[in-house]
Chain A
Amino acid sequence: AQSVTQPDIHITVSEGASLELRCNYSYGATPYLFWYVQSPGQGLQLLLKYFSGDTLVQGIKGFEAEFKRSQSSFNLRKPSVHWSDAAEYFCAVGASNMLTFGGGTRLMVKP
């Protein structure tokens, strides 16, 4: 069975600083990988996904993620964080038509 680990429960960055959110997965085959963002009281919005091909994936809102098979990782990055990026971020692996989510990372942005 697949699993996802997001090692950082909380991260605080200053506005304008760079961001990297970590995600490690466990799955026996090539995974489908996703990053979602959830703002307070909101549903989930898809930031980006990886199915195959180029391991560096561009998403919405200036986010990107890099798939590294050797490290079983799919870390999310943004070069310059905006205050509106404060939210909960979930990494997920898709397999057998279902998504398995990591525990989430709560991002706080300091002015």
Chain B
Amino acid sequence: SAVISQKPSRDICQRGTSLTIQCQVDSQVTMMFWYRQQPGQSLTLIATANQGSEATYESGFVIDKFPISRPNLTFSTLTVSNMSPEDSSIYLCSVVDPTANYGYTFGSGTRLTVV
């Protein structure tokens, strides 16, 4: 299956600052997804990122807070802007993986703590 490298794996940030999370895939993929997993909770889709177009955000998530870039078919970034303690979560990227018979493969996640 596709291998997804996500950086950083964890970070502790001051409130009011921003953090950019990188997601690198070892093969070209059309769609990439960003999820949030709040402490003790399930995963919620933030947005879908297609190369060459604006990301599509789910209800409750806005571009100003979570800007996403998708410059090519193997890379994407998610920025968490103007952070508050409520943004403390695990952020995961995911792809539809043709090499895994179109299962969804996930990165190992970025554990963010905002203090």
Name the one of B31, B106, B109 contacting A97, with C-beta atoms under 8 angstroms: B31
Q: Within the complex, which residue of B33, B42, B45, B103 is in contact with A46, where a contact is CB–CB below 8 Å?
A: B103
Of chain A, the residue at the smallest CB distance from B100 is A46
Most buried by A among B41, B92, B106: B106
B107 to chain A, nearest CB (A): 6
Question: Is the CB–CB distance between B33 and A98 below 8 Å?
Answer: yes
Chain A residue with the shortest CB-CB distance to B43: A101
Contact A98 B48 (CB under 8 A): yes
Chain A: interface size category = 20 to 34
Interface of A is mostly: strand
Q: Which residue of B lies closest to A9 (CB)?
A: B40
Near B by CB (< 8 A), chain A positions 70-102 give 90, 92, 94, 97-102
* Residues of chain B whose beta carbon lies under 8 Å from any beta carbon of chain A: 1, 6, 31, 33, 41-45, 48, 92, 94, 96, 100-109, 111
Given contacts A34-B104, A90-B43, A97-B96, 6 further A-B contacts (CB under 8 A): A43-B107, A44-B106, A99-B45, A99-B104, A103-B42, A104-B42
